[in-house]
Amino acid sequence: MTVLSFGQTINVLGPNLGFPGTVSRQGERVITARQVLLAAPHNINFGDPVVCVPDQGTIGGSYESVLDYVATIANLASLSKLFAGSAVREVKTQLLYPNNVVPGVQQLGYYSPGQLAEVLQRGSMTVLLSVGAPSTEDQVYTRIALNANVAAGLIGDYETNPASSTATGDLFTVNTPTATVNSTTLTLPTAYAGIQVGMLVSGPGIAPNTYVAAGTGTAGAYTAVTLSNATQQAIAAGVPITFSNLFALPGCVIRTGDVDSNSMVEITYKNRVAA
């Protein structure tokens, strides 16, 4: 007798937690709709972290993916102010049925430039985790600068538990940089291979939303870096200065620590991140 099999085999040991951008759990949630920036070079995929670009011809601002926004390095200065949450998955009319549908392969939905997109500002949802082995309540990050040593890390993704190596890591603290007050030059007596243009910089004397705008010498062995903001006080050797390829999503944590077979996790925005 021939046994016919239909559909997909579901791995009961690793069930899918949900599709990217799916709002999860009952209870409080805040979702706000705005138009996707008409000039945006890419769609906003369901689940993508987004910013709200103010007054681009649309009352209340327009949404743009973090991927597109940080492509202009100067925008790093306002990323924390304009971050708006994550695009949620909605049912949309399929006017044209795609001819490249592959059975068993997820079709990723999106909001096109000019369309109304809905973004979760507070609450829980499922997203694709690119890097990290999370536990409950771990901080969630999105990448703003590539790292050749973290091949899976993509701009505008979701990550957790970044490595702290000064040669290969994404978020690390060093104690040798020095600078005079009101200066944009941070001297590096010791060359740290991990420091590169586009990294966020923080620490005593460093203004909020400061990033590495340029480097002196050879990439991976800079003798000094140019900061996007002048120092607020003199920085002496021994003062801890932190460099990061990642942006910490405000008030956003891993909900349960469970990662399914499709690398999906549940995240929660504890506080409303945008008006």
Number of neighbours of residue 92 by Cβ within 10 angstroms: 12
Number of neighbours of residue 152 by Cβ within 10 angstroms: 12
* DSSP letters spanning 120-133: EEEEEEEEE--B--
What is the model's pLDDT at position 92? 63
Each residue's pLDDT tens digit, 191-223: 899 999 999 999 999 999 999 999 999 988 999
Residue 9 has pLDDT above 60, yes or no: no
Taking alpha carbons only, the member of 164, 140, 113, 134 closest to residue 49 is 140
**What's the CATH fold of domain 171-244?**
Elongation Factor Tu (Ef-tu); domain 3 (2.40.30)
- Least reliable range by pLDDT among 7-16, 161-170, 214-223: 7-16
Sequence-ordered list of residues with C-beta below 8 angstroms from that of 245, at least 6 positions apart, any chain: 143, 144, 145, 146, 147, 153, 162, 170, 171, 196, 198, 199, 200
What is the model's pLDDT at position 28? 84
**211 contacts 225 by C-beta, under 8 angstroms:** no
Residue 106 has pLDDT above 90, yes or no: no
Residue 15 has pLDDT above 60, yes or no: no
Each residue's pLDDT tens digit, 212-258: 999 999 988 999 999 999 999 999 999 999 999 999 999 999 999 89
What is the model's pLDDT at position 104? 58
Instruction: Name the average pLDDT for the chain.
Output: 89
Share of the chain above pLDDT 90, in %: 74
Residue 5 has pLDDT above 60, yes or no: no
Residue 200, strand partner residues: 211, 244
Residue 97 has pLDDT above 60, yes or no: no
Residue 4 has pLDDT above 60, yes or no: no
Domain with CATH 2.40.30 in the chain: 171-244
**171 contacts 245 by C-beta, under 8 angstroms:** yes
Q: What is the pTM of this model?
A: 0.89
Q: Is 206 exposed, middle or buried (0-12, 13-18, 19+ CB in 10 A)?
A: buried
Query: Where does the pLDDT of residue 157 fall: very low under 50, low under 70, confident under 90, or very high at 90 and above?
Result: very high
Residue 103 has pLDDT above 70, yes or no: no
Query: Where does the pLDDT of residue 177 fall: very low under 50, low under 70, confident under 90, or very high at 90 and above?
Result: very high
What is the model's pLDDT at position 94? 54
Share of the chain above pLDDT 70, in %: 87
> What's the gap between Cα 9 and its chain centre?
33
